[in-house]
Amino acid sequence: MSRCIITYVDEANGLPLIDQPLVQRLVDAALAEDDQTFCQLTVLLVDDAGSAELHEAHFDDSEPTDVMTFPDGSDDPDSERCHLGDLAVGVEVAQRRASERGRPTGDELALYILHGVLHLLGYDDEHPEDQKAMWAVQVRLLGAEGIPLEAEPS
């Protein structure tokens, strides 16, 4: 059984690009490292306009971005699962960045979702040492799935 139920809300026609079993394995692996079980997560897939709108409303930045995290932590009364939080993932950002990096868009989206989950688990990338630690987890977990990631954030 999965550690986390992931609900996707697709507002950008991005769901066909996502390898859902891969994302589930990555999320479960991150949660296992944090001893988290029995939780749920919502992933909102947005286009550039939706990303820019959310980014402006919540982070005072009108540019589209890769992933935004919205922590929750409350228990769902129906499922008794902890709602880890919500992610807003920029599909068009992922498409552009994947093209620049020479990798499939699905791998880029998996990175963004993993990155967002790590933020929900308390990882931070505001300071260089924290960013390096967070990136190392991403390199390791993605590498275990055969997805190469550059050793340093770019």
Task: Name the phi and psi angles at 53, rounded to 5.
Answer: -65, -50
pLDDT tens per residue across all 154 residues of the chain: 788 999 999 999 999 999 999 999 999 999 999 888 889 999 999 999 999 999 999 999 999 999 999 999 998 888 888 999 999 999 999 999 999 999 999 999 999 999 999 999 999 999 999 999 999 999 999 999 999 988 777 6
Residue pointed to by tokens 């479960």? 28
Among the listed residues 3, 12, 153, the one whose alpha carbon sits nearest the alpha carbon of residue 89? 12
Question: CATH assignment of 4-144?
Answer: 3.40.390.30
Residue pointed to by tokens 């859902």? 20
How many CB atoms are closer than 10 A to CB 56? 13
* 60 vs 76: CA distance, rounded Å: 30
Provide the residue ranges of all domains of the chain, joining segments of one domain with +: 4-144
Q: Are strands 39-46 and 4-10 parallel, antiparallel or unpaired?
A: parallel
pTM score of the predicted model: 0.95
Among the listed residues 29, 30, 22, the one whose alpha carbon sits nearest the alpha carbon of residue 69? 30
